[in-house]
């Protein structure tokens, strides 16, 4: 009798799990109050796999996002999804116990004109495309705790100017005291060599050396002088140091 009851309870549990996994995800989202900075539209599928027509996080838009559940992660008490969209792909891992979110192996391509909402107040608006490679990103309790990534500015230019500056790479790697940054050109029109550091207490430094080629468009030189100091013939440098605002530092965890 006990064996039958145990077997019946097991099958009932399996039935409930199967029912949840095959429930339309739109029904689930309808019961969740989304944060103001997240908007989801055009959802099809189940909790197991499906498609999101449009996802907007902090005004950054992702279109045609496919997601697929990885059941093996449940063995480690985690929830994992493989993601693939028009802009790229990667894996997200959520830990309900420690309230962590991890991004691994992400590769995202994003036209800069899609980030126009962030550039409204900029005197100089960049053009081109961003390629973002996230080797590992970890957030715990909505705070960034680890980041290892690089960003490539492809076909860099300035809106309204018919000139291409080339490609540039920014690499971010963790250290024992915080993060270090390295900026360089990838055989581009501007020769760039820069380094920076962000410490756990919010102190940051940035030292960037820029060398231009003779005969460079005068409008590009004028744009450089907005952000850099001229330091000799065809040479500019950027020296910055200070402390991050508390509202930014509060989102970081070291």
45-67 tens-digit pLDDT = 877 788 888 877 766 778 888 98
Q: How confident is the model at residue 13 (pLDDT cuts 50, 70, 90)?
A: very low
What pLDDT is stored for residue 11 in this prediction? 44
Highest mean pLDDT among 19-28, 70-79, 191-200: 191-200
Q: How many domains does the chain have?
A: 1
> Is residue 15 assigned to a domain?
no
What pLDDT is stored for residue 39 in this prediction? 78
pLDDT in tens, 94-114: 887 777 888 888 888 877 776
pLDDT in tens, 132-185: 898 888 888 777 888 899 999 998 877 777 778 889 999 999 888 889 999 999
> Is residue 137 assigned to a domain?
yes
What pLDDT is stored for residue 142 in this prediction? 72
What pLDDT is stored for residue 14 in this prediction? 46
> Is residue 196 assigned to a domain?
yes
Specify the DSSP element, H or E, that contains 154: strand 143-158
What is the percentage of the chain residues whose pLDDT exceeds 90? 18
> Is residue 218 assigned to a domain?
yes
Q: Determine the structural domain holding residue 160 and report its residue range.
A: 98-249
> Is residue 219 assigned to a domain?
yes
> Is residue 145 assigned to a domain?
yes
What pLDDT is stored for residue 6 in this prediction? 42
What pLDDT is stored for residue 8 in this prediction? 44
Q: How confident is the model at residue 193 (pLDDT cuts 50, 70, 90)?
A: very high
> Is residue 89 assigned to a domain?
no
Token pair of 224 as six digits: 């450089």
> Is residue 27 assigned to a domain?
no
pLDDT at 4 over 60: no
Q: Please, what's the b/e burial string for 208-243 (b: 16 or more CB within 10 A of its CB; e: otherwise)? A: bbbbbeeeeeeebeebbeeebeeeeebebbbeeeee
């Amino acid at each position: 009798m006990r064996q039958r009851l145990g077997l019946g309870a097991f099958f009932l549990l399996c039935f409930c799990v199967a029912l949840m996994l095959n429930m339309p995800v739109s029904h689930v989202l309808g019961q969740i109050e989304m944060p103001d900075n997240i908007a989801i539209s055009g959802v099809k599928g189940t909790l197991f796999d499906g498609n999101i027509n449009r996802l907007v996080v902090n005004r950054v838009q992702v279109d045609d996002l496919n997601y697929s559940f990885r059941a093996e992660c449940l063995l480690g008490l985690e929830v994992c999804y493989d993601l693939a969209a028009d802009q790229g792909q990667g894996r997200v891992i959520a830990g309900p116990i420690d309230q962590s979110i991890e991004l691994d192996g992400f590769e995202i391509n994003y036209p800069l004109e899609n980030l126009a909402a962030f550039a409204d107040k900029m005197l100089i608006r960049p053009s081109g495309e961003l390629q973002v490679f996230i080797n590992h990103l970890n957030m715990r309790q909505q705070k960034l705790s680890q980041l290892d990534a690089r960003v490539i500015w492809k076909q860099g230019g300035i809106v309204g100017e018919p000139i291409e500056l080339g490609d540039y790479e920014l690499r971010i790697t963790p250290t024992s005291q915080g993060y270090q940054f390295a900026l360089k050109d990838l055989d581009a029109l501007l020769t760039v060599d820069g380094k920076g550091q962000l410490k756990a207490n919010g102190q940051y430094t940035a030292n960037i050396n820029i060398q231009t080629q003779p005969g460079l468009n005068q409008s590009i030189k004028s744009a450089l002088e907005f952000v850099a100091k001229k330091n000799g013939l065809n040479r500019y440098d950027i020296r910055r140091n200070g402390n991050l605002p508390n509202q930014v530092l509060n989102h970081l965890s070291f």
